[in-house]
Amino acid sequence: MTKFKRNEIEECSTSEGFNKEFAVVNPTKMCQPMGAVQAMMGVKNAMPLIHGSQGCATYMRFQLIRHYREPIEVASTSLNEKTVIYGGEPNLLKALKNISEKQNPDIIGVMSSCLTETIGDDVDGIIKKFEDANIGKNLPAMVSIPTPSYAGSHVEGYDKAILSLIKYFARESVPNNKVNIILGNLSPSNLVEIKNIMKDLNVEPILLTDTSENLDAPLNEKALKLHEFGTSLDELRDTANSKATISITKHNDSGAKYLEKKFSIRSISKSMPIGIRNTDIFIKNVCKVMDLDIPKKIIRDRGRLADVLVDAHAYNYRRKVAIFGDVDMVIAIARFTYEMGMMPKVLCVGAESPRFREDLNELINDMGYKPIILENKDLFDFEKVLESNPVDILIGNAYGASIANKFNIPLFRIGFPIFDRIGTQRIKFIGYTGGIEFVDAITNMILDFYYDDEGYKVEDKELSFDPQSFDEYLFESSAK
Ligand code: SF4
């Protein structure tokens, strides 16, 4: 198998003759506490508390509310100039007291921010001080989650939240015959799909964490209250007694590794179950861990996805796509579009990751050509590359809309945030059934954009399908 190292991948990104190192413009990632807050949204009766300035919590709430269109509570210790100089301890103590007394949650997740990490507040020590001063009272669990945003993105934030929750709660007792599944930042519908797959397999999962009900809730007049659904503290405790932990986002597996090291719970970390191959791997892993045969229902769902791929093939074949977003999602969607007959041409992620490169090497070898890779780059770089490398479809979050408009191509919205459409809770691409919805939706978008009412291609929008240029891509990797 041909292996590509980081410098070879970088060559792709700099081969455009464009080099911008002075700043990040329109980043493809968000700050660490954002990921941690999203993990906390899936814990039952939990309150996330940002130890930082008011603006940090407002920013999280703003993005989450306009994406999910649900009421979201994020508390803040609301630091100001004085507390920055003298330390944020009084504010954190006051916030813990107020939240415990007024909202009575089961758990408070205390996320640090750039500010409090920089001034060096000892969050664990302050929590201990509060607990010592309130011995005998019925206090919530208080979990410290270190999330300095200058040292990682929302992906690391989610990972750290899961690790902190597991470290705090996991306790060895009776084996439970369950499987822990670490999810990452996925839509409620995608989580429902994971639950459905586990139901079909007759396996009880512990989801880390389960936002499926909380972030797609019925209309309720009591707008602001704690989430009544989600992963319970008992389930968090029970993670130490499961058969295995499967991380479906490779970059969120620190909790799984901790459980493996401390409690010998097997850890399996694989690509997101999107499309045929990656879903096959997920199903096979669950079946292997639980010693099961794959049920007929699942085999049938797989067949339905294969059927949709064939049905849609005429419209999708050799369409060039550019994908941006979180590393786990970008690489999994790239593979799925390749399975659909499309050509992933430009991939842009906001982080550097050896695991991304591992998956990329596999994909490149399977595809037989090397796409343009923008690793640790932003949407400014992405747009520049697209100027000289036209594609037919953009796939990513709402921040891609202006780029799609500029190049007069459609944007297929997935990822976070999506604030210019409704129904983001119901965007689904996980598993065979989610895959069917994805293929239907993206193919119909192609039909809307590139075909007329009679079903003929619109000539002036004709795509960059060009067998000759395709041949140039083919086996470019082996020629080097
Ligand atoms: S990047 Fe830092 S300062 Fe900005 S919102 Fe995130 S935690 Fe707060």
Instruction: Select from 62, 113, 154 the residue to mutate for testing ligand 1; criterion: most ligand atoms less than 8 Å from CB.
Output: 113
Q: What is the pLDDT of residue 466?
A: 52
pLDDT in tens, the chain (480 residues): 445 444 444 444 444 445 566 678 888 888 999 999 999 999 999 999 999 999 999 999 999 999 999 888 999 999 988 888 888 899 999 999 999 999 899 999 999 999 999 989 999 999 999 999 999 889 999 999 999 988 888 999 999 999 999 999 999 999 999 999 999 889 999 999 999 999 999 999 999 999 999 888 888 776 667 788 999 999 999 999 999 999 998 888 999 999 999 999 999 999 999 999 999 999 999 999 999 999 999 999 999 999 999 999 999 999 999 999 999 999 999 999 999 999 999 999 988 888 899 999 999 999 999 999 999 889 999 999 999 999 999 999 999 999 999 999 999 999 999 999 999 999 999 999 999 999 999 999 999 998 877 777 776 665 555 544 544 444 443 333
On whether the CB atoms of residues 358 and 1 are closer than 8 A, the answer is no
Name the residue at shortest CA distance from atom 3 of ligand 1.
114
Sheet holding 141-145, edge to edge: 75-76, 46-51, 107-112, 141-145
Q: Which atom of ligand 1 is nearest to the CA of 115?
A: 3
For ligand 1, say whether the CB of 415 is within 6 Å of any of its atoms. Answer: no
CA of 114 to the centre of ligand 1 (A): 6
Q: What is the DSSP string of 94-146?
A: HHHHHHHHHT--SEEEEEE-HHHHHHT--HHHHHHHHHHHTTTS-PPEEEEE-
Q: What is the pLDDT of residue 6?
A: 47
Q: Enter the pTM of the model.
A: 0.90
For ligand 1, say whether the CB of 79 is within 6 Å of any of its atoms. Answer: no
Q: Give the Cα separation of 269 and 282 in Å (integer).
A: 10
Residue 349 token pair: 């992620």
For ligand 1, say whether the CB of 114 is within 6 Å of any of its atoms. Answer: yes
Q: What is the torsion angle, in degrees rounded to the nearest 10, for the CA atoms of residue 253, residue 255, residue 260 and residue 263?
A: -170
Contacts of 428 (CB under 8 A, 6+ apart): 187, 189, 190, 193, 434, 437, 438
Same fold for the pair 6-14+297-479 and 32-169? yes
Q: Which atom of ligand 1 is nearest to the CA of 33?
A: 7
Q: Give the Cα separation of 112 and 245 in Å (integer).
A: 27
Closest CA to 110 of 85, 81, 140, 135: 140
Name the residue at shortest CA distance from atom 5 of ligand 1.
56
Characterise 274 by phi-psi region: left (phi > 0), alpha (psi -120 to 50), beta (else). Answer: beta
Contacts of 429 (CB under 8 A, 6+ apart): 190, 274, 333, 336, 414, 435, 437, 438
Q: Return the CATH fold of 32-169.
A: Rossmann fold (3.40.50)
Is the preceding peptide bond at 209 cis, omega within 30 degrees of 0? yes
CATH superfamily of 179-215+229-295: Nitrogenase molybdenum iron protein domain (3.40.50.1980)
Q: What is the pLDDT of residue 68?
A: 93
CATH architecture of 6-14+297-479: 3-Layer(aba) Sandwich (3.40)
Q: What pairs with residue 153 in β-bridges?
A: 31
CA of 112 to the centre of ligand 1 (A): 10
Instruction: Select from 111, 114, 123 the residue to mutate for testing ligand 1; criterion: most ligand atoms less than 8 Å from CB.
Output: 114
Q: What is the pLDDT of residue 480?
A: 32
Q: What angle do CA 115, 354, 345 make, to 5 degrees?
A: 105
- For residue 460, the Cα-to-chain-centroid distance in whole angstroms is 36
Q: What is the pLDDT of residue 183?
A: 94
Name the residue at shortest CA distance from atom 8 of ligand 1.
56
Residue 452 token pair: 């007329």
For ligand 1, say whether the CB of 31 is within 6 Å of any of its atoms. Answer: yes
Q: What is the pLDDT of residue 146?
A: 95
Closest CA to 355 of 459, 452, 249: 249
- Cα dihedral sign, 25-27-33-37: positive
For ligand 1, say whether the CB of 353 is within 6 Å of any of its atoms. Answer: no
Domain ranges for the chain: 6-14+297-479, 32-169, 179-215+229-295
For ligand 1, say whether the CB of 116 is within 6 Å of any of its atoms. Answer: no
Secondary structure letter of residue 253 according to DSSP: -
Q: What is the pLDDT of residue 478?
A: 35
Q: Which atom of ligand 1 is nearest to the CA of 114?
A: 2
The kind and range of the H/E element at 323 are strand 320-325
For ligand 1, say whether the CB of 77 is within 6 Å of any of its atoms. Answer: no
On whether the CB atoms of residues 412 and 441 are closer than 8 A, the answer is yes
